[in-house]
A and B are shown apart, each in its own frame.
Chain A
Amino acid sequence: MDADASRRQLVAALARVAGGDRRALRIVYQDTSAKLFGVCLRILNDRGEAEDVLQEVYVTVWRKAATFDPTRASPITWLVAIARNRAIDRLRVTAVSRRMEPIEAADAVSDPAPAALERVELSQQHARLAGCLEELEQRHSAAIRAAFLDGTTYEEMAERMRVPLGTMKSWIRRGLLKLRACLEA
């Protein structure tokens, strides 16, 4: 199924979920749970926690499907945002000081993120994001990418990349402002 068709199917299923159709939630789950579980697992780094959060995510989808507006967001973006928000909140609550592997900027860039093969499948918008990220200073884009994928705070990012907190905030904020200008251009 091509990206457009799968998006349409997901939008239709979410509309049925909003109407209380449990089979439609099952369809949404089948289509997206591996993706969202991967996202939760990456942030929480703990299968049990990720499973709990994934359960919360689909219960949230069940209850809030009516608030999804297909004219403003793509369904997978909406679902990923719910999953990330839940996972990040859980991460902050458990407050278990996860042992972070220090990462160098170069390592973060070699993250699977913009792998050539996958980029073919990126939508136009995602390709644009990748292009804009490439225009940033390498360490800024590395910090932004790592923060997004791992749900880390500024403090943790500073520790991981071994720079002062102020420097990390400055990297990410400048990177974000430049990214925004590029994305809007």
Chain B
Amino acid sequence: MSDDPTIGPAEGNQLLAAEYVLGVLGTEERRDVERRLAREPALAREVAFWEERLGGLADAVAPVPPPPQLWSRINAVISVPPPPVAAPRRSRPSLWQSLEFWRTFGIGAGALATASIAGLTYLGVGLSTAPPPRAPPLMATLGGAAGQPNFVAAITATGDGLVVVPAALLTNDPRAFELWLIPVGETTPRSLGLIEPGQPIKLTIPPDLAARLTPDATLAVSLEPPGGSPTGAPTGPVIAAGKLASL
């Protein structure tokens, strides 16, 4: 809103709408305007006016074809059927607060908080010296759109846990990072819980899903509102994905 004494209050709303559309307001001011839009039709009309008129400025921007795989990502998100009836597992936070796995191998969580891709090697060593596993350990490198590794995930020797280690410094995004499993032959992502962008975490996987942690099953990470996806299906951008494979 204007703090210029020569701009009258009648012009204030027009200006606020214009400033909102122009994009010069800060985040809090933007949210204020958006809240008011729902109950102030006059302000909404002003915003529509400016969107329509200023929109022409976008003609100055040269089109840039997005990478071909982007449509697949969008298609994957919109193909998800309505949320399942079952409550998402993230409502039980104690599930992923257990880090016995790390203590078992004498790896401090603090040291791993800074682990990058080096953690992958370390993890491999740890798993290979674990009590004899029934099957070869499965791992996945979850890459971003540009192919860079963002997370490394490994199934614990007991088969019912998944350790997820951040492999890259991700932006300081306030949103929640939610891990999904898309089992082989299925298209619906199943939530495995929230993970941390800055530290390794161990998720306990319920038996019905643990059985689906098989080679070629896909793991993916999406950005969600704090607390996780409100629908039980991914709602935000997928920032990393990869397939499970034997070491």
Q: Which A residues are within 8 Å of any B CB, using their own CB?
A: 22, 25-26, 29, 33-35, 37-39, 41-43, 47-49, 51-56, 58-59, 62, 72-74, 76-78, 80-81, 84, 88-89, 92-96, 111-115, 118, 121-123, 125-126, 129-130, 144-145, 147-149, 151-154, 157, 169-170, 172-173, 176-177, 179-180, 183
Q: A35-B58, A38-B62, A92-B26 are in contact. Are A176 and B18 (CB under 8 A)?
A: yes
A177 to B6, CA, bound (A): 12
Q: How many residues from B make CB contacts under 8 Å with A? A: 56
A172 engages B63 (CB within 8 Å): no
Interface of chain A: mostly helix, strand, loop or mixed: helix
Residues from chain B with a CB closer than 8 A to the CB of A153 are 24-26
Which residues on the A side are within 8 Å of B235 (C-beta)?
59
Cα(A173)–Cα(B59), bound, Å: 22
Using a Cβ cutoff of 8 Å, how many contacts connect chains A and B? 172
- Chain A contacts for B19, CB-based, 8 A: 172-173, 176
Instruction: Kindly list 19 other residue pairs between chains A and B, CB separation below 8 angstroms, not including A113-B60, A173-B2.
Output: A26-B75, A38-B64, A42-B61, A51-B70, A55-B238, A58-B78, A59-B78, A81-B21, A84-B58, A92-B30, A93-B27, A112-B61, A118-B60, A147-B23, A148-B22, A176-B19, A179-B18, A179-B53, A183-B53
Select A77's contact among B23, B55, B66, B238, beta carbons within 8 Å: B55
B60:A48 contact, CB within 8 angstroms: no
B64 in contact with A34 (CB, 8 Å): yes
Asked whether, in the complex, the Cβ of B74 is within 8 Å of the Cβ of A59, the reply is yes
B7 at the interface (CB under 8 A from A): yes
Most-contacted residue by chain B among A38, A47, A125 (CB, 10 A): A38
Docked complex Cα distance between A22 and B2 (Å): 44
CA distance A34 to B173 in the complex (A): 26
Q: Residues of B with Cβ closer than 8 Å to A? A: 2-4, 7, 11, 14-15, 18-19, 21-27, 30, 48, 51-67, 70-71, 73-75, 77-79, 144-146, 171-174, 223, 235-239
